[in-house]
């Protein structure tokens, strides 16, 4: 349930096309709706500006479908993260306008348009292997109404590739920097710009990278200013945060 849905409900009560008792049934579900296996947070759109997002891993297809049905009733745009093709097929059985972003592992059900910000978010990846996490961030930003410019495969092993894209880096309002291995790219980018940088360590790397822990520690210990760090492989979290910063 979003602000527009709530406004229309109240207007319909005022006009008499919806009874007070029927409106109360809807409003009782406003904080959350208990489905037994899940408590769907209908109020989140009003609190946070975007509806609850479905984390697909660990859920059955049927559970995901039931959650999607409940969210669809309130005219929400729906996003399911860490979704494989089976999740996409399941959601497609019960909803229209379903899009699957395979690289990002995101399924989107688009119910309404979101006004786009004119300010740009740049999503920067160190290597090609980091692109799936970078795409999770980029698609999240786009679904939340942002213009995204992608700058991929510009890691520190060939730093001239980053400098060749300095025009994109400099005009971005927020930057998401995704890197595995030693994770140094976030520090380099932050040293070039006067905008917030959200660093995303990835689990890309050989044994001593400890599945992203070395990149995480590098980013946390950066001497460059203006860097915030999210969890390993958390492209969604970085994209969501970048979108929130960009709308201010």
pTM: 0.81
Contact 174, 204 (CB under 8 A): no
pLDDT of 37 reads 65
Contacts 24+ apart (CB under 8 A), 4-12: 4/75, 5/74, 5/75, 6/46
pLDDT of 29 reads 59
Question: How much of the chain, in percent, has pLDDT values that exceed 90?
Answer: 58
Q: Does residue 26 carry a pLDDT above 70?
A: no
pLDDT of 169 reads 93
Compute the half-sphere exposure of residue 104: CA atoms within 13 Å on the CB side of its CA: 24
Q: Does residue 231 carry a pLDDT above 90?
A: yes
pLDDT of 95 reads 84
Q: Residues 144-165: what's their mean pLDDT?
A: 91
Mean pLDDT of the chain: 86
Contact 143, 79 (CB under 8 A): yes
pLDDT of 49 reads 62
Q: What pLDDT band is residue 23 in, cutting at 50, 70 and 90?
A: confident
pLDDT (tens digit, 9 = 90+) per residue, 194-220? 999 999 999 999 999 999 999 999 999
> What CA–CA distance (Å, rounded) separates 202 from 234?
8
pLDDT of 202 reads 96
Domains of the chain (ranges plus CATH)? 3-109 (no CATH), 120-246 (3.40.50.1970)
Q: Does residue 54 carry a pLDDT above 60?
A: yes
């Amino acid at each position: 349930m979003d602000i527009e849905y709530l406004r229309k409900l109240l207007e319909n009560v005022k006009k008499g096309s919806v009874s007070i008792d029927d409106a109360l049934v809807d409003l009782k579900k406003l904080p959350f709706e208990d489905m037994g296996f899940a408590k769907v947070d209908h109020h989140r759109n009003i609190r946070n500006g975007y509806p609850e997002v479905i984390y697909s891993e660990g859920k059955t297809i049927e559970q995901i479908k039931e959650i999607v049905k409940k969210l669809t009733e309130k005219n929400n745009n729906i996003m399911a993260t860490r979704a494989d093709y089976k999740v996409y097929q399941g959601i497609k059985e019960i909803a229209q306008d379903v899009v699957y972003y395979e690289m990002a592992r995101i399924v989107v059900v688009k119910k309404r348009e979101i006004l786009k910000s004119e300010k740009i978010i740049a999503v920067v990846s160190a290597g090609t292997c980091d692109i799936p996490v970078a795409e999770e961030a980029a698609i999240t930003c786009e679904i939340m109404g942002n213009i995204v410019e992608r700058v991929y495969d510009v890691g520190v092993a060939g730093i001239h590739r980053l400098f060749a894209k300095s025009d994109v880096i400099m005009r971005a309002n927020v930057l998401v920097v995704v890197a595995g291995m030693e994770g140094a790219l976030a520090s380099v980018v932050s040293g070039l710009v006067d905008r917030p940088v959200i660093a995303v360590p990835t689990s890309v790397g050989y044994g001593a990278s400890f599945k992203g822990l070395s990149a995480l520690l590098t980013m946390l210990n950066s001497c460059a200013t203006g860097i915030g760090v999210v969890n390993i492989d958390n492209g969604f979290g970085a994209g969501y945060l970048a979108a929130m910063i960009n709308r201010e």
